[in-house]
Amino acid sequence: MSNTDLSNEETKLSHATLPRGAQWLVGVAAVALGGLALVLGMGIVGAAVIGLLGFLIGYPLWALLVENRRSATDKLVTGLVWTAFAVAVIPLIWLVYTVVSRGAATLSPEFLTYSMRSVTGDEQGGLYHALMGTLIVTGIAAVISIPIGIMTAIYLIEYGKGNRLAKTITFLVDVMTGIPSIVAGLFAFALFTLLVGPGTRFGFGGGVALSLLMIPTVVRSTEEMLKLVPDDLREAAYALGVPKWRTITKMVLPTAIGGIVTGVVLSISRVIGETAPLLVASGFNPNLNTSPFEDSPMMTVPVFIYTQLSEATAKGVEYAWGGALVLFILVMVLNLIARIVGTIFAPKTGR
């Protein structure tokens, strides 16, 4: 008799479920629990943690009592994943909010069009010189890194194919990825001290330092994109009597160009905010300097932020936030360009 009961139990396809909106009920209870903790004198962080724990324990427990074990596990893991998501995203939103709210007041036509030449008081000046410097230095880094990076990637994927030289290069590129940025700055500084003279700090030096950091990212991203071009297409081109170099320049690169451009732009936005190498290699300058090859320091936005912050006056801190916002907008614009370019060049399916 008990045997039939058991088989009935096993073949049952439905089970009791929590009422609709159960998560909101538990959520409200958890918020109440957090509020209670707050009233009892815990800090806001402690209260939030208590409330969160209440939800993460209470909701699966209720599910375990009413539904079954699998449903409880599901609810627990879903809760943990959402928590991890929030932990990752909240600082990001907070950061964006802080930079925008504190920098927006400083952003003005004057701030964007004046340099810090002869500024002694707290009233005038801006970051025009630093903005120009950043564009020039990053531009130099891009001009050096993009051809070297793309050609290295082409060698690795199209010609090297796992031979010893290619493996060595891949290893060196990996090592280069891990270079601390200040070491790149020191290298460029030492290089130009030897080549030009002691204590040389100028825009080109900053560009060289940044290119050391940029090349590995360009190589890596281009490599990944070239790998995505199917060998079928290369063979199709060879079978039409197309030489290898033309296959690469006229078929492989155009097919992968969307991804390559995206990777390049993202690598630019990675180095544009570098501070340490530019402190060392490019130096400080309150004046506008637009000639990167002249032996005089060139200001950049990250260094401007650093300098203004170390002034420690109220206006200096304001300028630092303004500079941060400008840098932030620059990176956002670059990312946006990367996305747009990526979509424009993506191979069309016509469906």
Partner 1 sequence: MSIQVKDTSIFYGDFKAVEDVTMSIKPKSVTAFIGPSGCGKSTFLRTLNRMHEVIPGAYVEGKISIHGQDIYGPNVDPVAVRRKVGMVFQRPNPFPTMSIYDNVLAGNKLNSKRIKKSEADSIVESALRGANLWNEVKDRLSKPGMGLSGGQQQRLCIARAIAVQPEVLLMDEPCSALDPISTAAIEDLIHELKSDYTIVIVTHNMQQAARVSDDTGFFNLKAAGQPGHLVEFNPTKQMFTKPDNPDTEAYISGRFG
247 binds partner 1 (CB under 8 A): yes
**Kindly report the CA angle at 202 between 201 and 204, in degrees rounded to 5?**
130
Where is 193: in which H helix or E strand? helix 181-195
Q: What are phi and psi of 347, to 5 degrees?
A: -55, 135
Q: Given the complex with partner 1, which of 178 and 350 has the nearer CB atom?
A: 350
351 binds partner 1 (CB under 8 A): yes
197 binds partner 1 (CB under 8 A): no
Among 187, 234, 321, 327, binds partner 1 (CB under 8 A): 234
Q: Given the complex with partner 1, which of 214 and 252 has the nearer CB atom?
A: 252
DSSP one-letter code for 297: -
Reference 218, options 177, 172, 264; nearest CA is: 264
Question: Helix (H, G, I), strand (E, B), or coil: what is residue 323?
Answer: helix
Stretch that binds partner 1, among 15-23, 100-108, 316-324, 343-351 (CB under 8 A): 343-351
The site for partner 1, by CB under 8 A, has a size of 27
Pair 347, 267: CB distance under 8 Å = no
- Minimum distance from CB of 230 to partner 1 (Å)? 7
Among 33, 184, 251, 271, binds partner 1 (CB under 8 A): 251
Q: Given the complex with partner 1, which of 5 and 232 has the nearer CB atom?
A: 232
- Minimum distance from CB of 234 to partner 1 (Å)? 7
What angle do helix axes 69-103 and 314-345 make, rounded to 10 degrees? 120
> How far is 177 from 323, CA to CA, in rounded Å?
27
- Minimum distance from CB of 347 to partner 1 (Å)? 4
- Minimum distance from CB of 336 to partner 1 (Å)? 24
Among 47, 153, 219, 237, binds partner 1 (CB under 8 A): 237
Written as six digits, the tokens of 5 are 């009961």
Alpha carbon distances (Å) from 48 to 34, 85, 108, 310: 6, 16, 39, 35
Draw the binding track, 142-181, toward partner 1 (x: CB under 8 A; -: no contact): -------------------xx-------------------
Pair 301, 319: CB distance under 8 Å = no
Residues that bind partner 1 (CB under 8 A): 161-162, 230-243, 246-247, 250-251, 254-255, 347-351
